[in-house]
Amino acid sequence: MDPYSLTVCANLTRDRLEVEVQRNNPGGLPEELALVFKTSEGWGIDYADDTFADRRDAAFDAVVVRAKELLEEYKDRHDEEPPDGLTATGMAVWLLEDDVDGE
């Protein structure tokens, strides 16, 4: 079992995609460790526990690279205004549009 799991999420409050990084705990609930995202300033990581940033290891850093690769599969929307009149569902679909053409 992989010690980490990744989930792509649409953050409707911040109009961006994020990848939630969780540690899989055998026999227990997964523990949220961080959110990986991209803004107009570049890549960002929000740690669930501020002290984790100082305790991370090479395996976690590799998972962050995988999270960034996952986000690259979607259209880069951080400099775009969403279309007018979108519902919350429409906004999530807009943010989660695949970047099949690499644009």
Q: Give the tokens for residue 103.
A: 């644009």
Task: Give yes or no for residue 63 having a pLDDT over 60.
Answer: yes
Q: pLDDT per residue over 29-52, tens digit each? A: 888 999 999 888 899 999 998 877
- Work out the pLDDT band at 1, boundaries 50, 70, 90: low
Specify the pTM: 0.80
Task: Give yes or no for residue 66 having a pLDDT over 70.
Answer: yes
